[in-house]
Amino acid sequence: MDILETIGLDQQALDVFKEVFIVLGIGLLLGLEREYSKKEKEERLFAGVRTFPIVALIGYLALFIADQYTDFIYLAAFLGVIVIIALAYSGGRKADAGTTTEFSLLAAFILGSLVFTKNYHLAVTIAVLITLLLSLKIKLHEAVHKLSRQDIFSILYFVIITALVLPLLPDKEMGPYGIFNLYKTWLIVVIFVTLNFLAYFLSKFLSRRRSVILTGVLGGFASSTATAWYFSRQSGRSQAGGMMPAAAIILASSIMFPRLLIWLALLNMELFRALWLPVLLFGTVGLGIGYFISTREEQGGQEGDGPEISNPINLKEALVFALIYLVIQFVVGYAEEKFGDKGVYIAAAISGLTDVDAITISMANYGKQSIGLPVAALAVVIGAFANTSVKYAFCLFFGNARLRRYASYGFLPLFALGAGYAAFRLLW
């Protein structure tokens, strides 16, 4: 602060300078994109690299002055910008000209005002998203042209299922063992529908191979169990294919292991230190095998694409999966009632059938208390491999012959590693 006082600056002045530079950055970001876009089309430039920063600064200054005097100053500035944009649009513009630049300029004014309210991250994030949408104009138009009427209705149904229905459901346990929770049950449906939705639209714009792998990887972060069910059922409908779904399932299942480390690092650092090496080894081996199988598909040329996805919103299949999930939860609740705390390993294995995150969180808490670190560590691994066994079971029961074979290539080495770790923990 002594240096700042020497040069005549205080913290408030520095904050103003910082905000002005953020506003200028937002305006330049939007202005550069619009300038480059108009240059490519050789069109008359309405607003570019100079106008956007100026308008963003006007938005900042208008709110600054309004804060000192009256809100009507900001309202007048906002209306003035709208009038200028309207006059520029109506004067000499083509009949089929869009309004993207005009609305972007209006956004620059509002974002400049947002910076004054100290919402720096929100303002910059929105500016980046707007710039991304502007720069992806051609690709977005191409994507829209590929959509059919059924695709449009599917997008509408997807929004209703995910954004409208889910938030309205109560997050409250009901029924025996508290297994019936409308919110969590519908969340399972949402995850499954999202996987089907994602796979369908990725296959329209990417090769079948890339869309399957990308769906598997992304699905692994949301629910590797739902991902395994989805791809197993997909491959079981056809004798062709199987290798790529197996790779996707193995990749999704392997992502679960490093995800566990995040929970442990947040909740129990001692347990994290005890498990980071074996859990990271499990995940690395699984990801390596999954990646190797995916590259084999590219070289062989004999693997079929598998069944096409005809319905982006397969709600019936999603409800079947949710029902099976509820049945497993009931079995888990019954078993835990019978065994109680007497068998930590048995409880971990049973709980892991449905939710490996839950058993990880429980052991992270118990490990700090009564059962001890070694027992908690082994219980986490048992829960993780119990969950992995469910995914392998889906492949064996629902997949075709090729999926069963290639899934075995990935899961059996993982089970061998897990058994080796369990033996090590129990014997030493």
Q: Does the structure show a pLDDT above 60 at 56?
A: yes
Instruction: Please compute the mean of the pLDDT values over residues 324-329 and round it to a whole number.
Output: 66
The reply to whether 392 and 263 lie within a common domain is: yes
The pTM of this model reads 0.58
Q: Is the same domain home to 119 and 229?
A: no
Same domain for 245 and 100: no
**One domain, residues 234 and 291:** yes
Task: Tell me the residue type at 307.
Answer: P
Strands (E) in 88-241, as ranges, are: none
pLDDT given at position 91: 65
CA distances from 102 to 22, 253, 378 (A): 21, 47, 61
Give the pLDDT of residue 109: 92
- If asked whether residues 138 and 152 sit together in one domain, one would say no
Average pLDDT over residues 321-327: 70
Find the mean pLDDT for residues 357-363: 66
- Report the chain's mean pLDDT, rounded to a whole number: 77
Q: Say what the pLDDT of residue 298 is.
A: 47
Same domain, 283 and 238: yes
Mean pLDDT check: name the lowest of 127-141, 207-221, 414-428: 207-221
Quote the tokens at residue 5: 């006082």
Q: How many CA atoms lie within 13 A of 323 on its CB side?
A: 6
Residue 120, domain extent = 2-142
Q: pLDDT tens, 72-120?
A: 888 999 998 888 888 877 765 555 456 777 888 899 999 999 999 888 8
Of 103, 118, 142, the position where a domain reaches its end is 142
Which pLDDT band, with edges at 50, 70 and 90, does 408 fall under? very high
Query: Which tens digits make up the pLDDT trace of 376-391?
Result: 788 888 888 988 998 9
Which of the four pLDDT bands, split at 50, 70 and 90, describes residue 14?
A: confident
Q: Beta strands of 164-281 (E only): which ranges? A: none
Residue-wise pLDDT tens digits, 181-193: 788 778 777 876 7
Is residue 21 located within the same domain as residue 117?
Answer: yes
Q: Same domain, yes or no, for 343 and 316?
A: yes
In this structure, the answer to whether residues 138 and 203 fall within a common structural domain is no
**Contact call for residues 250 and 220 (beta carbons, < 8 A):** no
**Closest Cα partner for 376 from 279, 255, 274?**
274
pLDDT value of residue 299: 45
Higher pLDDT, 341 or 375: 375
Query: Mean of the pLDDT values across residues 21-43?
Result: 79
- Which of 88, 119, 142 is where one domain is finished? 142
Q: Do 169 and 237 lie in a common domain?
A: yes
On whether both 79 and 181 belong to a single domain, the answer is: no
Q: Domain ends where: 142, 174, 197?
A: 142
When divided into structural domains, the chain yields a total of 2
Does residue 88 come out as left (phi exceeding 0), alpha (psi in the -120 to 50 range) or beta?
A: alpha
Q: Do both 169 and 93 map to the same domain? A: no
Task: Tell how many helices (H) and how many strands (E) occur in the chain.
Answer: 17, 0
**What is the largest distance, in Å, between two alpha-carbon atoms of the chain?**
84
